[in-house]
Amino acid sequence: MSGSPPPTGGFVRRIGLFQATAINMSQMCGIGPFVTIPLMVAAFGGPQAIIGFVAGAVLALADGLIWAELGASLPGSGGTYVYLRQAFQYRSGRLMPFLFVWTAMLFIPLIMSTGVVGFVQYLGYLAPGLGPTAGDLIGLGVIALVVLLLWRGIAHIARITTVMWVVMIVAVALVILAAVTHFSPNRAFDYPSGAFDFASTAFWAGFAGGLTIGIYDYLGYNTAAYMGAEIKNPGRTLPRAIVWSILGIMAIYLLLQIGALGVIDWKRMLDPHDIAATSVASAVLEETWGKGAAQVVTVLILITAFASVFTGLLGGSRVPYDAARDRVFFRAYAKMHPRHQFPVLGLATMGVITAVGFLIGRHTDLVTLIQLLTTVMVLVQALAQIAAVTVLRKRQPALPRPYRMWLYPLPSVVALVGWLVIYGYADRNAPGRHPIEWSLGWLALGCVAFVLWARFEKVWPFGPREVREEYLEAAERERPEPARG
């Protein structure tokens, strides 16, 4: 069966495999690895930090296969919103999709805000005298520029994204090449005593912290899935874009991490006053090819960071649109731009929250911000989607699945364990900040908001449950009728 998805709600399917992969990779390899290499070294206490990137890749691949099956069979605008709406409507009505949109309106902009924090951090290499106020104003200006560029048609956006993806590839290639030309194995593999003591509590504490940083660096492999209604041949394109982007970024990250450690003494990355701790890629270029080359590559890294924010807001702004169109979120979010056909209020709201998150991130530390956004995301996206795959296989067995998860249910089990490790370790890795409590509080507030909204809309639990299997029904309508004898 090859049934088509239902109408796309005003979106046009113009994004192909290359562009979808570019969108994912631009979002994944933004400023992330350039600012988290020192954080990963600090978590593990040495160059064995490479374990964190490998563990992050394993979790990303396991979770990516979940996204691949769901995205291929339910290619609508909004990604997780569509998947949870289809899977959990039978028992809890619109609760789960409502809670997802509620949390996504927070964690997606928070992810983007970390990119802007990193942008300003690297800008400090080009302008060492940049003060806090000037940095804040520049970061806010970057967010405003992203929103302005996105205020255009998807055809223009696809071309812009492709160009920025090329810049990203050039930036990381130059850093890797510079590291290779001056690589020292003795420096790269200068492990401290007890680095691989698997019986040590400290090792597993570092592993949990490193896994959190690692999966943060890979976040974005699902960006194209949020734009499922704009993807050409989504049943084939989305799974390939997800898997290819994860494998490609994994190779890049491993080369970046090992290469940087082969040029810069890892102990320098622990000194907050050393440029190796704040702008490690610039430090690599300065150490190898000189100050001029470091400045040029820093500019490319800034463009890469900009691209990640651009693609993240591009995909994220689609999340509340589909929910509002289905009356599961505020109706104003269903409004499309009359000319360029993009969700107006979704883009504007996420732009504002990104700005607020950026200002918060500037006055805390990046690890804390990462902990906050991951704990909020884990409950209503990561864990809920793992359940959604199984629920949909049981509830809608006839749903066309152009891609079925390899080795099912092993990837689901791996993803479940990985996300639970990240969530359970969050408070310990951010002492005094209580990210678990914040995530539970935000979720509880979302439940209260849902009850009030459901009462106003007179839907479950204050009205009948509405079951809509539109993807399955669309496939049934397009199934050829049997030949008559």
pLDDT tens-place values along the chain, 485 residues long: 334 445 455 567 778 898 899 888 877 877 788 889 999 999 999 999 999 999 999 999 999 999 999 999 998 777 888 899 899 999 999 999 999 998 988 888 888 898 899 899 899 999 988 888 899 999 999 999 998 888 765 556 667 767 777 888 898 899 999 999 999 999 999 999 988 999 898 899 899 989 999 998 898 898 888 787 888 888 899 999 999 999 999 998 999 999 999 999 999 999 988 888 889 999 999 999 999 999 999 999 898 888 878 877 877 787 788 778 878 887 788 888 677 667 888 889 999 999 998 988 888 777 777 888 888 889 889 999 999 999 999 999 999 999 999 999 999 999 999 999 999 887 665 556 678 888 899 899 999 989 988 988 888 999 888 888 888 888 777 766 655 54
- Residue 371: per-residue pLDDT: 81
Dist CA 401 CA 2 (whole Å)? 8
- Residue 362: per-residue pLDDT: 85
pTM for the model: 0.86
- Residue 158: per-residue pLDDT: 65
3-state secondary structure at position 6 = coil
- Residue 59: per-residue pLDDT: 97
Cβ burial, residue 124 (10 Å; 0-12/13-18/19+)? middle
- Residue 3: per-residue pLDDT: 40
Closest CA to 426 of 215, 174, 179, 230: 215
* Cβ atoms of 344 and 335 closer than 8 Å: yes
Dist CA 109 CA 115 (whole Å)? 10
- Residue 4: per-residue pLDDT: 41
Dist CA 378 CA 201 (whole Å)? 24
* Cβ atoms of 257 and 37 closer than 8 Å: yes
- Residue 2: per-residue pLDDT: 38
- Residue 425: per-residue pLDDT: 83
- Residue 478: per-residue pLDDT: 72
Alpha helix (H) ranges present in 74-200?
80-92, 95-126, 132-150, 154-181, 185-188
